[in-house]
Structure 1
Amino acid sequence: MKFLATVCLIFALFFEVLGFKNSVCNQEPRGYVDTYIICAGYMPRFTYYAESNSCQEYIYNGCFEICGLPHSGNGDGKRSCMGFFPSWSYNSDKNECIEFIYGGCGGNDNRFGSKEICEDKCLE
């Protein structure tokens, strides 16, 4: 009985990993604001508070509110984000992980923090 349960668990994990690879690794990387904003930055910044006459640190996530974003200038209504996050994405045509700069907004799950993680999740 334990053997059968182990076999079922192995098959379930195999199909879970296979499903992840097919659903995530074949997405084209995106880095612009589409409909929703996904901001995942972690950038320490400082601001001045007049009340206390001091500078205090805060964490900036890489995105402004949608109305505060600068217009991209291309006339299509899309706006760019100001982040600069070196990231990795799987390229299914080349079967390799490639580096790109993520702006901090939009995007999809085909974005990894390192080449090693990308290769671990996506390479055959």
Structure 2
Amino acid sequence: MSSSASLRSCLALLLLLGPALGAPQALAGNSGAPGPAPNHEICLLPPEEGPCRALIPRWYYDRYTQTCQEFTYGGCDGNANNFRSLESCEKSCWMIRKVPKICRLEADPGPCRGYLKRYFFNLSSMKCEKFIYGGCYGNDNNFQDEDSCVDHCLPEKTGPLLCYSPKDEGLCSSSVTRYYYNSKSQSCEEFSYTGCGGNANNFVNKKDCYNICKKAGSNKPRIKKSRSKPPKTTRKLQ
């Protein structure tokens, strides 16, 4: 085989294998936990230690407290709601908006056999959705109509959504002074930007940061108060 033919064969092989060789492994920011899955769905999974017996400290996002919590991972299997550090957990799950406690519960039809059309707030879709309630027990994520569910569970944030993004230094190796809006301290803070990547919560100067995000700091994220309280579930004994 001539050298030119050999070169063409090598190039063809590289073209075929290139996508497979270059494809990243899509995990939830950590090895030892299965993936891939969209971050939003990952963060709503329950903590799962797995069947192995190692004692590895890890972090998971708790949908009920809406915070990252530490747990002990066994070292194999489990699920993708499994992060090596508090920072990586918060960075992956920041997009899950804060909602009232009852809206974080899963739909519960209860043990009775009635057929009542109700609405619950689905934290995965961030929407109020229909479900069939049996008529007893269940939980308080149970609304008689969609409007009551929306009024109680959907938060309204003040200011642009970019102001609620976490600080992200980016992917490169430069060191550029920038500012980001810290929604916890409700102030614009300095950080070192690496020059590429990152997110939109990144301002050249403090004044721009303040002008864009001042509404986010003027009030805490507001929640519309429902005119009608969620119905109390009737507890019956069968």
Common fold: TM-score over 0.5: no
TM-score (normalised: structure 2): 0.23
Q: Which has the higher contact order (CA 8 A, sep 6+)?
A: 1
Q: TM-score, normalised by structure 1?
A: 0.44
